[in-house]
Structure 1
Amino acid sequence: MATQPVHIEQANAGTILHRIGLFGHRPAGEPEAHESAPAASTKAERRARRRLANDIRNFLLDHDLEITPASLASAHEVCSGLNPALNRAVDERKLECMPLTAQWLAEVSADSSGGGDRAVKDLAKKLESGIEQLSRATKNVRLATTEYGDELERRVDDLSGPLDQDQMIAGLADFAKAMLARSRQTEEELRKSELETARLRENLDRARRDAEVDYLTGLPNRRAFEAVLNAEYGEGRTSGEPLCVAFCDIDRFKAINDTHGHEAGDRIIRVVAQTLATICREDCYIARHGGEEFAMLFRGLGRADALARLDAAREELAQRRMINRRTDKPFGIVTFSGGIADVSSFADPRDALAAADEALYRAKEGGRNRILIAEDHAQAA
């Protein structure tokens, strides 16, 4: 009897690990699917899963959290960036030097449950309310205008009959007062609608930032990058303009986290993000693709020119000597490796991403702190 909850917890944990994509096999006890098996994952996808698994493990160990379904789910949301509200709460908690306990995570996760989905639903409700309020105010304006016109027409008709000057003036004064009061009421309703519209616009901007901006660096995130990549790929195929994609990954980042802690690791990620952003002009787009990895698009640049620009950023970073300000310990030489592919040479932009990632992997195997160009044999015929 005493072991039953443990077995249930282990089964639940396995289900969660499978659901968030850390294990490729099906959970124990889950029936086999009858549909055809999905295509094998690429090396890039497997490496991304390994990085995410490592980040989740380190998060749990760093904060001395038990491995439970709830803590795994929270760690996954934090490390993947899928729940911006939870990420902000965790960052604020760290700044206050407060511990990230299982109870606190459970409370905050409950408040921010659903992540982006909940935010979208809440925003949809607010939009419906705002639209209804604006529609009501517009209807009142239209009704007031119609009533004003009908009443004015009736007053004009009265002028064609026998006139009593005092009575006519008193009637017009009453009419003017009534219309003035109605106009002020309508103006107040419109003012409230304008305020609500402004609030909705702010909420929309916030939702857009949460959906497409990386919370740590302020750069676009993977979702935004892939949307731009698809759009640029289509335009490039039409115009024939060169388009290159690059993957960059911070070298030995795990050692930085292990030696200096994850908060220092986050600062290094921001430094690298700023370094790469300095080489981005109107012809370049940069995003944090996940973890310590960045993706870049170079419009109108061939592979050699993209390599030269990215290599300049690599050399600039390698020459810096950074110190952990909290401990006064040096970080040592911080470098990154990269891979570049010509997107226009591939039938699918995802193949170009895979080729750039493969070049990045070769750069890592070749000693790190270098940029390599994807091999021609990976290109589409």
Structure 2
Amino acid sequence: MLARRVSSTQSTASAAVAEDVGPNVLGFLSRQQLPATPQNYALGFLIVTNSEGLAARAVDAVLMNGDRLTSDDVGRILAAHGPKEEEKGESEDHAKVRRHTLRLAELAATAVEETGEFGRALEAEQTLLAGTVAIAELVATMIERSTRTETQLAKAAKQIEDLRQEVETAKGDAHNDSLTGLHNRRGVLARLQGMTPDQRPLLAICDIDRFKTVNDRYGHVVGDRVLKLVAASIKESCGQNFLARWGGEEFLVIFNGAVTPDEAFTILNRAREDLANRKVKLRATDQPLGLLSFSAGIARFGEKSLDQAIAAADALLYQAKENGRNQVLVED
């Protein structure tokens, strides 16, 4: 019963707020001699519920000149500052960037407004400078308004820097695989843009052996753990060579500089052996997971396109699977 009473009280309070908003919106429309159409009501609702928002500021800019709002004004203000359909369902990162952008607009508008007031004050007082006005008071007013403007601009600069950093972070995240922390396909393409053929002599595709069986038998939680473990193991063995998650249980290696086919084979074969020697157990039961291994194909890259090099490496990978898995093959 207590829970019901609390719910009833909250409902009554919400209804009271709604009852206050409705008459205030209609009062606003009446003062502006606007009919209570859905569009006009939407703007009135924004003004009543957020008197410091951008829509309210835009309305103030019209009313300051002694004018009333027109239907054209309403449409223009809603288009610029009303809720947008595309905002529904947006990602958390996009919402964060959007909030920062709106905050920047508010700060910029405030700074401009303060600067405008400062100019108008000078215009109003300039005829009195030769009269009896207290110069000290005028100067104090000028300094106060100038300080406020400077503070607002400093805040705007800080917001701009925060926004820049968030955009850079979002850009970096777009190049990374969220599960393994490795670069993804987009990250691979970004990496290749700055590489010349002699900087990318060889490419390899690695594929975890019998990974579907792991997922089917133990579930995707264990499967994700295996993917993270394999990624970390290969990365440790490959050192400074570029490693990315190419998709699913496949990993791509781009070897650096003057690495020869024999050296590339040594690196990946060591990675294969290191992984196979790991004793992996299920966390819940302490049961051994069994052999973890991968097969790989190493192909020449250099002057080839990415698609050509991957096709060659894939053919070798398929051959390694056909030969019994848990092995590395190199293009002649």
Q: Is the 8 A contact 2:206 2:296 kept in 1?
A: yes
Number of equivalenced pairs: 244
| Distance in 2 (alpha carbons) for counterparts of 1:132 and 1:280 | 48
Following TM superposition, by how much is the alpha carbon of 1:112 offset from its aligned partner in structure 2, in angstroms?
Answer: 11
TM-score (norm 1): 0.55
Q: Which amino acid aligns with 1:262?
A: H
Runs of 4+ more than 3 Å apart:
111-115, 118-148, 279-282
Task: Measure, in 1, the Cα distance between the counterparts of 2:182 and 2:115.
Answer: 46
Match of 1:352 among 309, 316, 320: 309
Give me the whole-angstrom Cα distance separating, in 2, the residues matched to 1:204 and 1:242.
Answer: 30
Structure 1 260/173 Cα, relative in aligned 2: closer, same or farther at 3 Å? same
**Is the aligned partner of 1:175 residue 2:138?**
yes
What is the 5 A alignment of 1:12-161? 122=95, 125-126=98-99, 129=102, 132-133=105-106, 135-136=108-109, 139=112
Deviations 1:131-168 (CA, angstroms, capped at 9, x unpaired): 644654664687688789x78xx69x96xx8xx9xx6x
2-structure distance, mates of 1:186, 1:305:
63
* 2:238–2:268 contact (8 Å) kept in structure 1: no
Which residue of structure 2 lines up, in the alignment, with residue 185 of structure 1? 148
Deviates more, 1:210-219 or 1:323-332: 210-219
Match of 1:374 in 2: 331
The equivalent position to 1:328 in structure 2, one of 279, 283, 286, is 286
CA distance in 2, matches of 1:245, 1:352: 7
Task: Pick the structure with greater CA Rg.
Answer: 2
The 3 A distance-change label for structure 1 pair 305 and 146 is: farther
Deviation at 1:184, TM superposition (A): 3.1
RMSD: 3.4
The change in CA–CA distance for 1:242 and 1:216 in structure 2 (over 3 A counts) is closer
8 Å Cα contact 2:115-2:146 kept in structure 1 = no
* Equivalent pair of 2:97/2:163 in contact (CA under 8 Å): no
Aligned to 1:292: 249
Partner of 1:200: 163
| Equivalent residue, structure 1, for 2:213 | 255
Inter-partner Cα distance in structure 1 for 2:88 and 2:323: 43
Gaps of 5+ in 1: 1-110, 376-381
Query: What is the letter of the counterpart of residue 175 of structure 2?
Result: E
CA distance in 1, matches of 2:89, 2:322: 39
TM-superposed deviation, 1:322? 0.8
Aligned residue identity for 2:311: A
> Secondary structure in 1 aligned to 2:288?
strand
Secondary structure at the aligned position of 1:330 is classed as coil
Distance of 1:113 and 1:139 partners within structure 2: 31
| Structure 2 match to 1:221 | 184
